[in-house]
Amino acid sequence: MDIVRVMDDLVCTRRVPGLGSASLRVVRSAQGVVSVATDPVGAPVGRWVFATTGSAARLAMPDPTCMTDLTICGIIDQWDEEVPPVATAHRATDTGSGASKG
Amino acid sequence: MDIVRVMDDLVCTRRVPGLGSASLRVVRSAQGVVSVATDPVGAPVGRWVFATTGSAARLAMPDPTCMTDLTICGIIDQWDEEVPPVATAHRATDTGSGASKG
Amino acid sequence: MDIVRVMDDLVCTRRVPGLGSASLRVVRSAQGVVSVATDPVGAPVGRWVFATTGSAARLAMPDPTCMTDLTICGIIDQWDEEVPPVATAHRATDTGSGASKG
Amino acid sequence: MDIVRVMDDLVCTRRVPGLGSASLRVVRSAQGVVSVATDPVGAPVGRWVFATTGSAARLAMPDPTCMTDLTICGIIDQWDEEVPPVATAHRATDTGSGASKG
Amino acid sequence: MDIVRVMDDLVCTRRVPGLGSASLRVVRSAQGVVSVATDPVGAPVGRWVFATTGSAARLAMPDPTCMTDLTICGIIDQWDEEVPPVATAHRATDTGSGASKG
């Protein structure tokens, strides 16, 4: 699932009926790709969220016939784009041969 | 869902029956990738639209058996490729710990 | 749907039964990515075509159980890789506020 | 299926019901793309795993209605990001015409 | 469908039951992206193969409930990564207006 930031609301007066009254949000990924997601969670603009794609995006909506392909699933409690996560908890010598390929 | 610009109509005399009489549009993303979308909305050339992908693209068509994988779903009221959306509405100190990862 | 050029036939003596007798074509995108498509249309080598992906690719085949994920759907009448389509037909002042974001 | 490294747990107090109690992991690909996966395997942070995407991601979960699009499927016994796998076992002169295109 | 090279077997002692006894192969694309595929064909390491993705990947397996998203479908008789296919067979003046856009 994608980690994206909610940038704005998307205003579309002319749209297909298959979207119903779903709210549309402009979201941006860490790589700068801007796209549109449906938002059953109601995330404030500026917050980092994670969103599911493909057929799962429809299942994440209250109305599973909504023809979205990207749906916001949750608001991340803490996320800092500048500080990528670092896997500190595990050293290569942990159980099993660890992450080194002979 | 992708934000793309309608560039032209695509003319294809020889095409599979599974497309029916769907109108085919040449669309371009902000990253410059050119692709083909079906267009139940009738967006004028030059306008920015958003389009849904995957199995949702079929659901967005009047005939859900149309074997498209990219369907235009709405005409964006205002979009300027040069002015990327900026998440001004939310400051990191908003409800919850905001978007900073310890 | 992707715009690709038919480069060659793909010869595979050992292949899974799920492909039946589908003809396999080597295709290349404008970005240079080479992949394999099934071809119910019979496009000549060298021609530009558009192809559908995902579950729609199976629906575009005469036998919808054919386990392809990329199927050629039509031969584009005219396409020039060097001359990207330009959206001339629409000026920003057309109906509605046009493609500029305040 | 994608090869990714488990970087951290993702903490999301507000999330859609469709995720149930699935544990969410922050994972990173060799290309540096950070995303979120559900984790029925319980992989320790730091380990390299492989994850399945799309509708298969739901099938890999104990509850196949969980609307994930990326699910961890196994912990790789040995993997070293710095040492890409090299296909040494096969020389071009092996059975069949081998990997050279006339 | 993707053209990839079989680099190695993937060894995973801990993996989800949904994979059954499917053999897992490490494969690499021409762009250098390394991923994991299931292999009902039994391709020797080093050979170039083509693989199908998405829901088609499950259909290509003997057990269509196997939750793979990339399945090897055939061993390419001849493929040379250094010599990209060239569409020589067709000149722009062939039947129809050929591949030039006015």
Q: Where are the domains of chain E?
A: 2-75
Under an 8 A CB cutoff, do C1 and B47 touch? Answer: no
| The pLDDT of residue A22 is above 50 | yes
Q: Is A33 in CB contact (< 8 Å) with chain B? A: yes
Sign of the CA dihedral with D102 first, then C73, E59, and E68 last: positive
Token pair 């993996």 is found at E15
Alpha carbons within 13 angstroms on the beta-carbon side of residue C52 total: 29
Whether ipTM tops 0.90, in short, is: no
Residue A31's Cβ-count burial label (10 Å; 0-12, 13-18, 19+) is: exposed
CB D85 within 8 A of CB D41: no
Q: How confident is the model at residue E94, as a pLDDT? A: 34
Dist. CA C98–CA A39, nearest whole Å: 25
| The pLDDT of residue D75 is above 50 | yes
pLDDT > 90: what percent of chain E?
Answer: 70
Dist. CA D86–CA E5, nearest whole Å: 10
pLDDT > 90: what percent of chain C?
Answer: 70
CA distances from E68 to B23, B74, B75, D50 (A): 35, 34, 37, 11
Helix, strand or coil, per DSSP, at residue D57: helix
> What's at E71, amino acid-wise?
T
Under an 8 A CB cutoff, do C94 and B47 touch? Answer: yes
Predicted confidence (pLDDT) per residue in A58-94, tens digit: 999 999 999 999 999 999 999 988 776 766 543 333 3
Q: How confident is the model at residue E18, as a pLDDT? A: 85
Q: How confident is the model at residue C84, as a pLDDT? A: 65
Strand-strand pairing, A34-38 and C2-9: unpaired
CB D75 within 8 A of CB D41: yes
Q: Which fold has domain B2-75?
A: OB fold (Dihydrolipoamide Acetyltransferase, E2P) (2.40.50)
CB D79 within 8 A of CB A99: yes
| The pLDDT of residue E11 is above 90 | yes
Helix, strand or coil, per DSSP, at residue B28: strand
Q: What is the mean predicted confidence (pLDDT) over D65-80?
A: 95
- CA–CA min distance C95, chain B (Å): 9
Strand-strand pairing, C24-29 and C14-15: unpaired
Q: Is B64 in CB contact (< 8 Å) with chain A? A: no
Q: How confident is the model at residue B97, as a pLDDT? A: 35
Q: How confident is the model at residue D96, as a pLDDT? A: 36
DSSP run (H or E) holding B58: helix B55-59
Sign of the CA dihedral with C75 first, then C77, C80, and C83 last: negative
Q: Is D46 in CB contact (< 8 Å) with chain E? A: no
Neighbors of chain C by Cβ distance (3+ pairs < 8 Å): B, E
B6, B74, B41: which is closest to C89 by C-alpha?
A: B6
Count of other CB atoms within 10 angstroms of residue C63: 14
Helix, strand or coil, per DSSP, at residue C18: helix
Phi, psi of B86 (to 5 degrees): -120, 130
CB B12 within 8 A of CB B24: yes
Predicted confidence (pLDDT) per residue in C42-86, tens digit: 999 999 999 999 999 999 999 999 999 999 999 999 998 877 676
Q: Across the strands, what pairs with C26?
A: C8, C36
Question: Tens place of pLDDT for every residue, chain B, 102 residues?
Answer: 999 999 999 999 999 988 888 999 999 999 999 999 999 999 999 999 999 999 999 999 999 999 999 999 999 999 988 776 766 543 333 333 333 332
